[in-house]
Amino acid sequence: MDAPRLPPPAARVTIRELFTQFLVVGMSGFGGVLPFARRMVVERCGWLSEQEFTEVLSLAQFLPGPNIVNVAIIIGRRFQGPVGAMAAAAGLLLLPLVVVLLLATAYVRFAQIDAVRGAADGVSAAASGLVLAMGFRMARTIARSRWQPVVCAVAFVAIGIARFPLLWVLAALVPLAVAIAWWRRA
Amino acid sequence: MISSPLVELAGEFLGLSLLSIGGANAIIPELQLRAVHTLHWMTAADFAQLFALSQAAPGPNVLIVALVGWKVAGVTGAIVAMVAMCGPTSALTYWFTQVWDRFRDAPLRVAIQHGLAPVTVGLILSSGYVLTRTTDHSVPAYAVTGLTVLLVLTTRWHPLWMLAAAAGLGALGLL
């Protein structure tokens, strides 16, 4: 379908940039940082195209481990090898870890206050919306295909609605989807 | 068998990390089951509170893992849980990507990528749907979620504004 691209990326990204940009992503993402990572990598910094980011995310999701950490590892490695991977992952995780532990300590003390609990509920509701919106955006990259929207819908119904165990759904759906992609290549 | 809480944490999260194909949100039900019912680390209410906190705090969803570790064994527990959850899988991802890149233009790789993309989108939409069902308990809360989706798709406003506005509405007791 698409022309093969060469491994060396167009953008030059330093170790310092990897650390600081992922630090910003980690600190601005509430209730999940993937939408913020996509925004940073594709829109703000232009490190990857929309499709390249979807490819990275697909890989990160298919491999075990937290998706966003895998995304940081893959992007860090792509631009700066092992040090880049560590810099991106450290930038992403260290400060949020400190903040969340401080918050947890404080929350234990103030959870009785209705306003505190209400604010947390509000953030959760909006954060769910951010995840949904990211899904809709990414859906555009597969919308032009005939079969990909069908696979997407099946995955959604199986996992989101029917709540089948993830491992079984992936074990059934991924080989099938790859087989379809293989038959329809060229 | 050593029964130190730290060893237990490391073992549990190492196992969970290998199951977490599809991300941190995908293991939440399994994590809840183990932490509350199997290992009796905490009550269901405790877990729900930690989950809400991980949603409301800045940072990746995987921080729920740090909070569970913290609840079990303090700051050391948080660090042990995070290292067990992220360390081995990061090494695996690094290694795998290196191999993957060598076959960058192989037809099978392209097919795998085209096959995985729609599954990925389906999983993200599922996460959003399941999170919405878990977090929204009132019509105004669903309205906030829906409005957020709309604003993200139709404007270029920074998402932090939407989160701040939602926090404000919640603090005023409107949700």
Task: Please list, residue by residue across A61-77, b when 16 or more beta carbons sit within 10 angstroms of its beta carbon and e when fewer do.
Answer: bbbbbbbbbbbbbbbbb
Domain range for residue B3?
1-102
| Structural domain count, chain B | 1
Question: What's the token pair of residue A171?
Answer: 């074990």
Q: Where are the domains of chain A?
A: 15-143, 145-186
Query: Testing the interface with B: which of A57, A103, A131, A146 to mutate, by most B Cβ within 10 A?
Result: A131
pTM, two decimals, is 0.75
In a domain, B111, yes or no: no
Question: What's the token pair of residue A121?
Answer: 């509920």
| Residues paired with residue B58 on neighbouring β-strands, in sequence order | A30
DSSP B143: H
Using pLDDT thresholds of 50, 70 and 90, give the confidence band for residue A75. very high
Question: First vs last Cα of chain A: how many Å apart?
Answer: 7
Cβ of B70 within 8 Å of Cβ of A104? The answer is yes
Cβ of A131 within 8 Å of Cβ of B131? The answer is yes
Share of chain A above pLDDT 70, in %: 92
Residue-level pLDDT at A102: 94
Residue-level pLDDT at A71: 95
Task: Flag residues of chain B having pLDDT under 50.
Answer: 1
In a domain, B154, yes or no: no
In a domain, B38, yes or no: yes
Cβ of B126 within 8 Å of Cβ of A156? The answer is yes
